[in-house]
Amino acid sequence: MIIAIIEYNYVYHHNLIQKLGRIKKKMPIHVDIIARENTIYIVSLDDGFSTSFVYMAYLKAKNRRLDAKLLYARHIDESWFPEEIKKLGEKWMNKKISLKEIETLKKITITEHMLDRWCK
């Protein structure tokens, strides 16, 4: 997985979302854009098409003088997972989880949690 971490800028983020939307209408691309607080995370699988989108976004951010970094995903230990995810994952392994628990899981962003551990 390739990740670009970019300082948040409304116009930059808006244009990037539009560009990705136009591309997705024409052909499959494995890219997600996540904005949290003052940061934009652009995440892709490692195929050339998807990673070139991430690199293009990184270059555009640098040209706009936004703080931008590139990361390559790496192995993690299971202890890095948030406790809530571990608890509900263990429960789900043996029995169903409730709709309330599913809603709780939907609100947890694992990528942000992992990036916080790596980048801070």
pLDDT in tens, the chain (120 residues): 899 999 999 999 999 999 999 999 999 999 999 998 899 999 998 888 999 999 999 999 999 999 999 998 777 888 888 888 888 888 888 888 888 988 888 887 777 777 777 776
CA separation for the pair 43, 73 (Å, rounded): 10
- What single-letter amino acid sits at 114? M
Q: Domain 2-72: give its CATH architecture.
A: 2-Layer Sandwich (3.30)
Comma-separated ranges of CATH 3.30.70 domains in the chain: 2-72
Residues 8/37, Cβ–Cβ less than 8 Å? yes
Cα 60-61-66 angle, rounded to 5 deg? 150
Residues 50/31, Cβ–Cβ less than 8 Å? yes
List 34's β-bridge partners, or say none. 41
- What single-letter amino acid sits at 109? T
